A and B are shown apart, each in its own frame.
Chain A
Amino acid sequence: MSGGRARTPGRPPSQSEGSTFVPKAPAGTLYRGREGMWSWVAHRVTGIGIFFFLFAHILDTALVRVSPEAYNEVIDTYKNPIVGLLEVGLVAAVVFHAFNGLRIVLVDFWSKGPRYQKHMFATVLVLWVVLMVPFTIRHLSHVFGG
């Protein structure tokens, strides 16, 4: 991943400095703070959350192999407002991770990706809202509408 332009234009590392070049002040880094770092933090946090959910999701779905009763009994314990709200949180994490992941792919593979990473992060947030508003309305009307 990459940050955008440094706010204080730094001297580029010379060949002889090579990989040992360490910026002296935070302002000279490409990466610390702002969109580049916070999108990275959010990507990790949502990724870990989704991955642990995935274990539970596969294990409960595996109950279809035990019996229809066993599966339905466990799924019924999820059909309440608290889990309904957690599901909105899960989908919110998935949608963010998906769009920010596509942003990472563009930063890595599109020649102008690093230059536009902040714009793309704004786009990620806009798309996230655009998808989450109708989803939340629809899902919560299922959860609370019975």
Chain B
Amino acid sequence: MTTTIPAPRTPRRLRGRTNTELYAWMFMRASGVLLVILIFTHLFVNLMTGDGINALDFGFVAGKWADPVWQVWDLMMLWLAMLHGTNGLRTIINDYAERDQVRLWLKVGLYTATTITIVLGTLVIFTFDPCPPDAAADLLPSFCPVP
């Protein structure tokens, strides 16, 4: 589990067989640029327009996810932000947790939390019902059929 980044000019045959760290490094930059666009828009729409934070309730979320554009938008934010953050924390664990066992278990915990959160978030976006049948009508978005 020890992660060592070979010194510059290490011959290629001594660097190990994979380029995982290179791909992780590239992913941080590519996802980072996308996340700036995704999250700045997310914050502007949710906090700056209309009544801002005061407008936030079930009807607001349901109204947004009625549009597939916002479903895909939030799905991309979920996956990219979670993976970006997980890789960032993996780097920090590698930097500061010096004992092998501690480092291993911190990363097991991190990857477990990440997997659960990504799966849960993805299921919520795809199985979400904006008009649940047993809910009070005044909590629902305006497009829901009146019972």
- A interface with B by C-beta (< 8 Å): 18-20, 44, 47-48, 50-51, 54-55, 58-59, 61-62, 64-65, 67-69, 71-72, 75, 79, 84, 87, 91, 94, 98, 101-102, 104-105, 108-109, 135, 138-139, 142-143, 146
The answer to whether A68 and B139 touch (CB under 8 A), given A87-B53, A105-B32, is yes
For residue B125, give the distance in angstroms from its CB to the closest CB of chain A: 9
Q: Output the nearest chain B residue to A145 by Cβ-Cβ distance.
A: B54
Contact A91 B43 (CB under 8 A): yes
Q: Output the nearest chain A residue to B48 by Cβ-Cβ distance.
A: A138
Contact B33 A62 (CB under 8 A): no
Contact B47 A135 (CB under 8 A): yes
Q: How far is the CA of A103 from the CA of B61 in the complex (A)?
A: 33
Contact B8 A19 (CB under 8 A): yes
- B interface with A by C-beta (< 8 Å): 7-10, 29, 32-33, 35-36, 39-40, 43, 47-48, 51-54, 56-59, 61-62, 78, 81-82, 85-86, 88-89, 92, 113, 117, 120-121, 123-124, 127-128, 132, 135-136, 139-140
Q: Which residues of chain A come closer than 8 Å to B117, judged between CB atoms?
A: 55, 58-59
Please report whether the interface of chain B is mostly helix, strand, loop or mixed according to DSSP.
helix
Q: 19 more A-B contacts (CB under 8 A) besides A19-B10, A75-B56?
A: A19-B9, A51-B85, A58-B78, A58-B82, A61-B121, A62-B121, A64-B124, A64-B128, A65-B124, A65-B127, A68-B58, A68-B135, A69-B139, A87-B47, A87-B53, A91-B47, A101-B32, A139-B47, A139-B53
Contact B48 A68 (CB under 8 A): no
